[in-house]
């Protein structure tokens, strides 16, 4: 079917008390893994492309590929720009068939973030594209920070109310203690559920959780068994994701878990089948590994059968 917007699928998820997975793609096998699994599970799905993925694969190429696979699929699919910071890339996506864009002004002071987001909302809405914005900052791996500093970068509930009202964004990414990548926590995983609860009470637009990969031990050990090295890798446990959804998260962003499972699948295949040199078979092993992870995610998010 034709693409739908993030606003469409997230409002539906908000009503139904589940979340939709946003999976990052940058090539054919990733896109196939995402859409094929969503079809098998009858789940809506968000196909996310970062600016660097667009640079890697090409804007027109990614757009045509995702839209063609989505058109043939029997479930709602969105094509979403992840972490848009560059004005011309965002405009390019609006012209090239993306159905949803994220304007990430989170590195700017509040007033600038508001102005930037407002501008993108104006142009995106004019062409029927929904807009995700971000308030608060995700943690960085380097963030060995004090409690006060940690509190300061998390999303402030009252600022969120003002931000949504003034910008008109359709969905809001909030910072509650997650970070991108495979090294999210040094000690116990800790999310600011109290913040999330307060924000969800005060703000009516659907909420988004970035940096939500679970970096499961099994996947890490699977990769390491075949030569990968991920010392100290840690992610957000499934139970934390479920709790976040019960408190109002309707979009859960996953990239790292796909990368880890792809790597493990390809490493195992190469080691076990040294005679193979067909890229389709090698990448195919990675694709199958990713499909398993996507299927498990859909179970955790509760979106199976909602497409």
Q: Which residues are catalytic?
A: 82
Footprint on residues 173-202 left by ligand G3H (CB under 6 A): 180
Cα torsion for 179, 216, 185, 266, to the nearest 10°?
-60
Size of the site for ligand 13P (CB under 6 A): 14
Write each residue from 9 to 48 as x if it is in contact with Zn ion (CB under 5 A), else as -, in one continuous string.
----------------------------------------
Residues recorded for the chain: 307
Write each residue from 89 to 128 as x if it is in contact with ligand 13P (CB under 6 A), else as -, in one continuous string.
----------------------------------------
CB of 51 to ligand G3H, least distance (A): 7
Footprint on residues 202-221 left by ligand 13P (CB under 6 A): 210-213
* Interatomic CA distance for residues 113 and 131, integer angstroms: 14
Beta bridge partners of 101: 81, 131
Q: Is residue 67 within a helix (H) or strand (E), and if so which, with residue range?
A: helix 59-72
Write each residue from 36 to 75 as x if it is in contact with ligand 13P (CB under 6 A), else as -, in one continuous string.
----------------------------------------
Footprint on residues 17-46 left by ligand G3H (CB under 6 A): 24
CA distances from 168 to 126, 205, 207 (A): 13, 10, 14
CB 282 within 8 A of CB 207: no
* Interatomic CA distance for residues 123 and 106, integer angstroms: 19
Please report whether residue 210 would count as binding Zn ion according to CB under 5 A.
Answer: yes
CB 99 within 8 A of CB 129: yes
Which residue stretch of 48-56, 86-94, 189-197, 238-246 sits at the interface with ligand G3H (rule: CB under 6 A)? Answer: 48-56
- The encoded tokens of residue 254 equal 């996953």
Give me the residues that bind ligand G3H (CB under 6 A), please: 24, 50, 52-53, 82-83, 180, 255
């Amino acid at each position: 079917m034709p693409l739908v917007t993030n606003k469409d699928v997230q409002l539906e998820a908000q009503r139904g008390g589940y979340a939709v997975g946003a999976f990052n793609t940058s090539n054919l096998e990733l896109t196939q893994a995402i859409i094929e699994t969503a079809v098998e599970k009858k789940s809506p799905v968000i196909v996310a492309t970062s600016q660097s993925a667009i640079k890697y694969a090409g804007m027109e190429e990614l757009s045509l590929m995702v839209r063609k696979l989505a058109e043939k699929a029997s479930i709602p699919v969105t094509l979403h720009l992840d972490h848009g910071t560059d004005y011309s890339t965002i405009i390019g996506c609006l012209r090239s068939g993306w159905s949803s864009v994220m304007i990430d002004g989170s590195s700017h002071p509040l007033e600038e973030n508001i102005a930037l987001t407002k501008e993108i909302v104006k142009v995106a809405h004019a062409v029927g594209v929904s807009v995700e914005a971000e308030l608060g900052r995700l943690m960085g791996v380097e963030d060995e920070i004090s409690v006060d500093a940690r509190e300061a970068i998390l999303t402030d509930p009252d600022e969120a109310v003002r931000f949504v009202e003034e910008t008109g964004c359709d969905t809001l990414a909030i910072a509650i203690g997650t970070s991108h990548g495979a090294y999210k926590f040094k000690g116990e995983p800790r999310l600011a559920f109290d913040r999330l609860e307060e924000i969800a009470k005060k703000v009516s637009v659907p909420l988004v959780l970035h940096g939500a990969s679970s970096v499961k031990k099994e996947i890490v050990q699977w990769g390491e068994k075949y030569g990968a090295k991920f010392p100290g890798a840690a992610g957000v446990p499934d139970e934390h994701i479920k709790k976040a959804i019960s408190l109002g998260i309707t979009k859960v962003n996953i990239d790292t878990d796909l990368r880890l499972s792809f790597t493990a699948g390809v490493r195992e295949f190469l080691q076990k089948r040294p005679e193979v040199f067909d890229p389709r078979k090698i990448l195919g092993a990675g694709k199958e590994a990713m499909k398993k992870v996507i299927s498990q995610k859909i179970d955790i998010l509760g979106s199976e059968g909602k497409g």
